[in-house]
Structure formats: structure tokens, C-alpha cells
Chain A
Amino acid sequence: MATDYGQDRRQRQQRAQVQSRWMEVYDPVRHLDPVLVLTALALTLIGLVAIYSAKLVALSAQGLPPTTYVSRQLLALAIGVVVMVVVAVVDYRVVRVYAPVLYVVSVVLLGLVLSPLGTAFGGAQRWIVIGGFQLQPSELAKLAVLVVVAALLHESEGTPHAGVVLASLVLTLLPAGLVFLQPDLGTSMVFVWSTAVLFLLGGVQARYLIGLTLSGIVGVIVALQTELIEDYQLLRLTAFLDAGDASAAQTAAFQTRQSLIAVGSGQFAGKGLFEGTQTSLSYVPENHTDFIFTVIAEEFGFLGGSLVLGLLLVLVWRGLRIAILAKDTFGTLVAGGIVAILTLQVFVNVGMTIGIMPVTGLPLPFISYGGTSLIVWFAMIGLLLNIHMRRF
């Protein structure tokens, strides 16, 4: 019988000390990933500078303050940091439980976008306005689909059967279809890609993976044949293939060509901050959103471009590390899925600016102007932190 004195007391005290030490070790707050957070913040800061530089001349010409976009983006950053902290604090297993709710909200919002409540810009209906803020639900839906499919696969404990695979597909294709109708081909591809990677990581059998890949290819061919994809999308998709010839400003190749000139003329060390002519003189379209990378590559050259890609690679590294360290399948899947989405968006976005990928409207994570995107990416960082902190 244990007493509260003598050896017992000493042993109990020692045990308490050990437990306390262990508790400290296991305390989630002691297992933050500062590299991850600092890298994300560094990328956002670079993005702010690039947005400022991209719009400096154009905004001044319009008589608007040159900080118009930057201040909005700063607000999004502040919200994003708060969201990150909130997401990191709540145990991610709770997130898993509430994933269906998040999913339903996202799908409803996507539906609203297509309703008369949605806001159209440049031929696409992608936003809804809530209290003076433009919200882009497709960004939120990325996260929702990722979480809900990861939760589903988690339930099947590493051996998902056909029913789970089918359910995941339906859950993915519903929002993907809604986004496709906006139309936003690029983002709808992200859903498909993220679920595909989750299938890979979640232990879906190889024959299913191969079967799905083949039917995906058939689907694309059918889509092209039946003109499901609008002409301008097809033009944009194929324009990069013949970007070499000098075509008129109106043609689809113009964007790619101007983007290539911007990037190429940056050379090794860049033209210097605010010295980029291609981007500041609006030769490159959408240079604060989709083509933001051209601003960095033109003004800071290969060095600047490599720095941004390097920082994104650091995020990938931390994400993959967290996926490996995660204590359950859900954590591994979410971390791996975030890495996959990040990589796809970086590759498609940067690839588009340097002429190896078609022109699709995918933002560059953390860098491109766009509040919803930034907030959602900080939410994803929060999730990664969460999984990392609770890995024991």
C-alpha cells in the first residue's frame, strides 16, 4: 500500500517528475513547427511585395493609392493567421468528426456562387459577397473535400473497399462539377488530383487506381469531343504549345508570350524591385493574381524565382515529414493531401508562366493576390501544425 511518506512519497514524487517531464514533452504547444510557419509567412511577405510592385504603375495611373491591393491582402493575412491558430488549437481529430459539416457548408456555398447571388468577373462566376467581402468558396471546398475524403479513408483503416472509393469519388466530383460550371477548370482539377493522391496514400488497391486513371483519360476525351469545355478554355489550354510565334494581342498565345518575355528578361539577378517593365506596364495580364510569379521572376531574376520555389519546397518537405510522423491515417492523408495540392498548384501556376503548362486560373499559394486563397492556405498550415503537434 502506498503511503504519503518515506520511499513511497519519494517514488511518487519521482514518478510525478518523470510524468511531468513527459507531459511537457507531449504538450502539443511544445511541438510547433516554426520552420513551417516562418516559411509560410516569408512567402506571404514576398507575395505582398510582388503585388505592390505589380499594381504600382497601373493603380497610380488610375489615381488610386498603390497600396489598394496590398492592404486588402494584409487584412486577409491577419485573418489567415487567426484561422491558422484556431485550426491548430482544436485537435484535428475533432476536425475529422466535423468534416461532413465543413463539406456540406462548402457545397452549399458553391451552389450559391452559381445562383444569382454569385458575382461574375471576366466571364467566370466564382465569388459571393458577404458583408462587403468577396468569398471564393472553391478555395474553401478544396480543404473540405480533402478533409472529408481523408476521413472516409481513415475509417476504412488502410484497406478501403469499393464502396468507400465510390463514395469518395462522388464526394469529390460533386463540388468539382460545381466549380467546373463557374467555369474554373483549374480548380476542379485540383479536387480530382487531391482525391487521387489520397487514394494513393490511403491504400486504395492498384487496380482501382489504374482503372480510375484510365476512365479519367476517357472522360477528358469525351469532354473535348462533346464541347463540354468552352472554346476559350481549350484555346488557353493549347496556346502554350505554340507560344513561339508572334501573334496578335488578342490571341490566346499573347498571355503566354508576354509572360515568357517577362520571366526571361529577368535573367539571373532580375531587373530590380519596381524595375520590371513587362509586368508593371501591364504586358503580362493578371500579374497580381495568376501571373504573380512573372513579377518575381522579372524583378528578382532566377535568384528570386528560385528563392520562392525553394521556400515552397521547404513547405513540401515539412508537409511530407508531418505526413510520415502523423500518428494516424487521417493525419497522414491530410498532410500528404495538402502537399499534393500545394505541389499541383505551384507546378501548374509557375509552369504556366514559363510556358510548360497551359493557362489555367490557379493561384500561386501564399503569393497570388486573393483573400480566400490566402486564408485557406493558412488554415492548411494550421492543420499541418495540428497534426505535427499531436503526433504522439
Chain B
Amino acid sequence: MALPSSESSSSVLRLTFLAVLVITLFLALFARLWFLQVLAGDRYVELADSNRLRTVVTEAPRGAILAADGEELVRNRPALAISADRQALLNAAGDPVDEEAERVIERLAELLELEVEEVIERLGSQRRSPFRPVPVALDVTPEVVFAVQEQRELFPGVVPETLPVRQYPQGTLAAHLVGYIGEISQDELLRPEFTDYRAGDLVGRMGLEQSYEADLRGTAGERVLVVNARGDVLDVQRDREPVQGNDLVTTLDLDLQEATEQLLEDGILASRSIRRDDGQLLPSTAGSAVVLDARTGAVLAMASYPSFDPREFVGGVSVEYFESLLDEESEDPLVNRVIAGGYPPGSVFKTATGAAMIEGGHITPRGQVECTPAFELGGNTFRNWNRGVNEGMMDLSDAMMRSCDTYFYALAFDQWLAEENAEEPDEVVIRVAERFGFGQRTGVDLPGELGGRVPGRQWRQDYWSERRDTYCRQAEEASPGSRAEELMTDLCRFGGAWRGGDAVNTSIGQGDVISTPLQVAASYQAIANDGMLLRPHLGKEVRAPDGTLVRDIEPEELGHIGVDDQTLAVLREGLERTVMHPRGTGQSAFAGFPLDQIPVAGKTGTAELRPKVPYAWFAGYAPADDPEIVVVVNVEQGGGGSQTAAPIVRNIMAHHFGVVLADEAEFEAGDEILD
């Protein structure tokens, strides 16, 4: 070697230094590669797939909802829409990509008569797939479409489309039953039942649209595209055509539905001109009506007043309209009161309590009790509705006909005493009322049904333990010696006790009993149908778009009301006499109705909800000897049942049986004239 040995060793040392450096750098590369590919590889596989695959969803046309005769309540119609490619016009931050895009948006805004900000906001809706044009305006005029088509160069990225939207050939008819659809919310997307939904999907928001969502929805078409970095589509990995949703055929009788809605509204409006004894007009703020098929439980008509216009919800409801619906003055038009209105049933509950008293062994169907003007209990006076007249001895039939409260008071008190003395109280009213369908949901195929309540000892105890602290605090805060202090102290100490007064109140459907018009209708349907309670339902069958039957929705027995034949016969006799006996509480409303041809059975109810004007009830069925239909009407603050509710029922029945009444809108003045 030419180099001296010291130089040589220095050279080797320096080369070793280089070698160590080189190997260190290579090791760093190996280590990083191991981390990326082996340890973190799975995550990058997902990222790579989300890079290259784009899913384009084609919405499936939703199924139609039909009346029993096949008439369409809701269907799809093609709507002209102006959509735009978000990616072409907006950047990731939601601003126009360049000046050209800005001008396109300005032109679009002018054409659609919208604010520029509004167009940008609609375009920027992140709820839509970036690979589908975003609808900016729905139901535009053909002129707008022509303008875009003829001046393509002015509107790059803007496309006229035809989108399926909901259409209501019957207008507002059956709005509560049909419901409406809306875009699925973020919260809903997280719920298990919506796992196969994606943002921007439409979902049933109310009524049958909601309860038959799975049938109506159909299956969205899905194209999975392989795209490159520029967004060019290179290949179609999967292509699934959309499958139109199935049609729902309902049990609704279109003609009867129309009549029921009209007659309910007419009746409510007419009752507002009735003066009460104090000179005030009846408020009759709202109401509801339901017609069931007595043999199947099928809903033939269901109306809730006030109502709303589902057409306003097409393509997204406007803020103003939605707020007007939520306004306190407008009496909750979105609520279907038949299933979601919880009211004390008042006297229409007496069928259940009457049967309970017999089952409790306090009386026989023909056993008699004196119908006194009032019932004294522990210093409190529980009066009969008729104020002061002793109507003499009565059996169950008479008590129903005259709606005698004191008959029920006396028996309910006996029952309460028996329960008090028993080791394990057998609360027969709860038991029987539940068999009649009260205190639980009927299971009707509509969302948002209320379960109602039949109160008893357990309920009282639970209710009290929840509120006890409040009662006790209020007792302490009340001024000493006041009425409030007395009441609150009593509630604080003994509020959990189920007292005789509670039992007495419950026996006439007052106090803490809560029921929906549909529960009442179901219980009367059971009476009309030899005691068999059926599940009320609106769905009749599901049909494929080509008309083939997918499935039948069969009537479903919920159970027998569990009363013997004699009791049932006496109950039915009482209901018949209520309408058809000269002294029946419902008789006056049915004056002029051809009862000799179409006998009617029914029960009036006047539910007290102080300080409000009483709620009017009437529940009945016809023909009484071979029941076809059950009709229940409730009018909030409509006064007496015979005064406001019974005439509406009468008119609905008249319509159904094709009876022409001399004077349809015949209402009587006065204050709670007949229960």
C-alpha cells in the first residue's frame, strides 16, 4: 500500500464511520417500512379503498299508499329539478372554486330567483354524495329547464333532472294517517334500525310512511365505481338497479274518510256557536273521530282536527310552515289525537267498570242499586251529573242508559272496601279495564300511540314517591293555616294511599284515568264483536309495484274482554237504550235517525278536566243487532257528550249507511245537558 500504516488505519476508521452511517440509514428505512406496511397496514388498506371506490346511490321510488278501493292517497310524481355538481362549483371549504364558478352560481341564483347564499347553502349540503348532483331547486318551471339546457355554456356543472317526489292526489285527506317523509337525521343514522341508510336518504316521519317504512322504502340502486385521482370513472365494480318500494293498501274507506274529516270539522265548528249556561260559547278547540270495522278491527276512517297539509313537506318543509304548526295557538295540528290524545274517558269508561263490578261480585247484571243524587264519602260529596234528582233503583242496563254516576260510586266504594280489607287487594277495575284494552297501547300500526293509564294502588304509590319531596317542601313553604298547607301536608304524609275517592272517581272514567279515542273505540268494538278485542289496524296488504300480493295483514285478536254472556248482553242492552230509549242520554242526538232500520248503540261521555270546559265523548256502534261499524268521537272542550260528540257520530253513521238526515247539524244549547 502506498499509504503509511497510520494513514491506512485512519482511512479504515473513516470508511467504518461511513459504513455505520450507511447501515443506520438503511435500518431506519426498514423499520419505517415495517411499521407502515405490517403494523399500520390495515388502516392504509381502508384509506386506499375509500380513495378508489365511489358509491353512487340511485334512490328507489317509494311505494304508494292506497285506500282500500285502490285509490292513491300518496304516490310519486316526477318533479323537474335543477341540480348541480358540487365538486365543479364549490371547493372543500364550501366557497366557489373560482371566479367562473362564482358567476355560474350568480346566474343560477338569478334564474331560480334565489339568493346567492341560499344556492351555495343548498349546494354545500354535505348530506349528499359528492358523486351525485345536489338538487338546488325542486319543481321548477319547464322554462327554467329550457334556459339551462339552451345555454349550457353559461351553466357548466348544472343539470336539469327529474326526481321522484311525494304527491298527494287527495290533498290533505288522511294527513295524519299517511304522514310525511323527510331527510334522515344524524341521530337516526346512528340507531340500529337505520344501519343501511345513508345521509340524505328520505325516511317516513309520521303515520303509515313511518310504520310501513320497510315496505315502502324499496332498495336504493347502488353503483360502486372505480375512480382515479382526477375523479374519472374507470370501471364499474358493482351495479345494482334500484328496486321500487312496495305499495301499501290500507283499510281506509276513502269516501268515509272524507266524510268523517268533514263531519268532524263541521261538528266542531257548529258546536262553537253553542252557548253554555254561563253565556260563554263552547270553545271546542280540537277533536278526533275514528271509525272501526266492528268485525275486523280495521280502521275505516280516522280524523284529527285540526290537521295539516302534507304537501308542504315535499322537498323539505319550510321553516315558516313548520313553526306555524308548532305554534301554541294552532292546537298541535301534527298530533293525531285518535292515537296520541290522552283524555279521561268519562262515562264511556262505564262499560269496563260496570263489567268490573259484576266480576268483583258486588252486583249481578240485573241487580239493582239506587241512583241517588249524590254519594257521601268521608265528608266529600260525589254528585250525580243530573244534579239533585233521585232516579230510583237501577240495574246495569239502566245505569248505562241514564249514565248514573252514583250507581258506580256505590259499587266502586264496596269494591274499594273489599280491597282495603283484603291481604292482597285484587284490583278488579284495573284487571277488567285492561282486558277491554285500556291502560296499554292497542298496537295500531301507526307510530306515536299513547298507552293511557288505569290507575290503582301501585300507580298511586309510584306517583307519590316521585313527587313526595315536592309536596313536603310545598307544605313547609305554604303560609301556616292556609288551605294549601293543609292539602300539601296531607299529600306529603298520605299521598301514596289509594283512597275511596280515587276508586269512586275512577269508576266513572274520571280522576287519573287516561285513554285515547282509539282505546275507547277498540273497547266498544270488542263489545260489538261478542267480546273479542281486535287490534285496530290500517294496513290491509302489501303489494309489489306490479300489483302482486306480497303479504296480507290479517286481523289480530288481542283477547276476549272476559265477561259472561249475560253481562255482555246487559251492557249491550244498556248501550242500545242509551240511544234508543226515550230516556237515554244519547237519544236526543239521534232524533231523526232511522233507528227502526238501523238501530244504534252507544254511550255519551262528558269528561271533566277542570278548569277547562268538559271534553265531549261519544262511542257507539251500528247496527246494534249486527254491528258493522264502531264510531268514536271526542271533542276537546266540546261540552256534553250528547251535545257535541253524539251528533258528529250520528252524522258519520248516517253517511256510512246512506241515510239522509233532515238537519245534519243539529246541536242543542245548554250546559252539559245530558252527560
A interface residues, Cβ below 8 angstroms from B: 57, 61, 157-158, 197, 200-201, 203, 248-249, 258, 260-268, 277-278, 281-283, 297, 301-302, 305-306, 309, 312-313, 316, 320, 323-324, 327-329, 332, 336, 339-340, 343, 346-347, 350-351, 354-356
Contacts and interface: CB of A to CB of B under 8 A. Distances in A.
Nearest to B33: A305
Interface in B4-40: 7, 10-12, 14-15, 17-19, 21-23, 25-26, 28-30, 32-34, 36-38, 40
A282 B234 CA distance: 12
Given A316-B22, A339-B22, A354-B32, A267 B38 contact: yes
Contact of B37 (A258, A282, A302, A355): A302
Contact of B33 (A157, A158, A263, A340): A263
B217 to A, nearest CB: 33
Given A320-B15, A336-B18, A309 B30 contact: yes
7 contacts: A57-B234, A158-B10, A248-B91, A281-B227, A297-B37, A336-B15, A356-B32
Q: Is the interface of B mostly helix, strand, loop or mixed?
A: helix
B11 A203 contact: yes
Contact of B41 (A268, A327, A332): A268
A265 B48 contact: yes
A277 B11 contact: no
B12 A263 contact: no
Contacts of A267: 37-38, 41-42, 44-45
B43 A346 contact: no
B673 interface: no
A367 to B, nearest CB: 14
B1 interface: yes
B229 interface: yes
B18 A197 contact: yes
A312 B142 CA distance: 68
Contacts of A197: 18
B662 interface: no
Given A260-B44, A309-B29, A354-B29, A158 B7 contact: yes
Interface string B33-69: 1101110111111011101100000000000000000
Contact of B14 (A157, A203, A264): A203
B458 interface: no
* Centre residue among B17, B49, B234 by max chain A CB count within 10 A: B234
Contact of A278 (B7, B33, B51): B51
Contacts of B38: 267-268, 302
B18 A200 contact: yes
* Centre residue among A262, A264, A323 by max chain B CB count within 10 A: A264
A354 B33 contact: yes
Given A267-B41, A281-B226, A343 B11 contact: no
Given A263-B36, A283-B51, A316 B26 contact: yes
A350 to B, nearest CB: 5
Contacts of A323: 15
Contact of B3 (A158, A281, A347): A158
A339 B622 CA distance: 104
A323 B33 CA distance: 29
Contacts of B324: none
B22 A343 contact: yes
A61 B230 CA distance: 13
Contacts of B41: 264-268
Contacts of B48: 261-262, 264-265, 277-278
B228 interface: yes
A203 B29 CA distance: 29
B190 interface: no
B422 interface: no
A203 B6 CA distance: 12
Contacts of A282: 228-230
A203 B226 contact: no
B319 interface: no
* Centre residue among B36, B47, B92 by max chain A CB count within 10 A: B36
Contacts of A336: 15, 18
A329 B1 CA distance: 10
Contact of A264 (B11, B43, B227, B228): B43
B29 A347 contact: yes
A264 B40 contact: yes
Report the 10 A-B pairs with minimum CB-CB distance, sorted nearest first. Answer: A264-B44, A267-B41, A265-B48, A281-B228, A265-B44, A302-B37, A282-B229, A347-B25, A283-B229, A277-B52
Contacts of B10: 158, 203
A203 B11 CA distance: 7
Contact of A261 (B26, B34, B44, B226): B44
Contact of A266 (B21, B37, B92): B37
Contact of A305 (B28, B37, B52, B232): B37
B26 A313 contact: yes
Nearest to B44: A264
A266 B227 CA distance: 19
Nearest to B42: A267
Contacts of B18: 197, 200-201, 320, 336, 339-340
Contacts of A277: 48-49, 51-52, 226
A283 B44 contact: no
A356 B28 contact: yes
A266 B48 CA distance: 10
Contacts of A297: 33, 37
Contact of A320 (B1, B19, B43): B19
A320 B52 contact: no
A59 B54 CA distance: 22
Nearest to B39: A264
A328 B25 CA distance: 28
Nearest to A199: B14
Nearest to B3: A158
A378 to B, nearest CB: 21
Given A324-B15, A328-B2, A263 B51 contact: no
Contacts of B49: 277
A332 B11 contact: yes
Contacts of B26: 309, 312-313, 316, 343, 346-347
Contact of A327 (B2, B14, B19): B2
B610 to A, nearest CB: 63
Nearest to B10: A203
A295 B19 CA distance: 29
B32 to A, nearest CB: 5
B229 A264 contact: no
A293 B318 CA distance: 55
A42 B287 CA distance: 88
A114 B194 CA distance: 63
Nearest to A332: B11
A347 to B, nearest CB: 4
A251 B34 CA distance: 27
Contacts of A283: 51-52, 228-229
Given A278-B52, A302-B34, A346-B25, 4 more contacts: A266-B37, A283-B228, A320-B22, A324-B15
A207 to B, nearest CB: 15
Nearest to A58: B228
B612 to A, nearest CB: 59
Contacts of B234: 57, 61, 281
A354 B36 contact: yes
Contacts of A343: 21-22, 25-26
B228 to A, nearest CB: 4
Contacts of A264: 36-37, 40-41, 43-45, 47-48
Nearest to A309: B29
B70 to A, nearest CB: 51
A39 to B, nearest CB: 15
B12 A324 contact: yes
Nearest to A203: B10
A356 B17 CA distance: 23
Given A57-B234, A201-B18, A268-B37, A329 B3 contact: yes
A101 B51 CA distance: 51
A74 B660 CA distance: 100
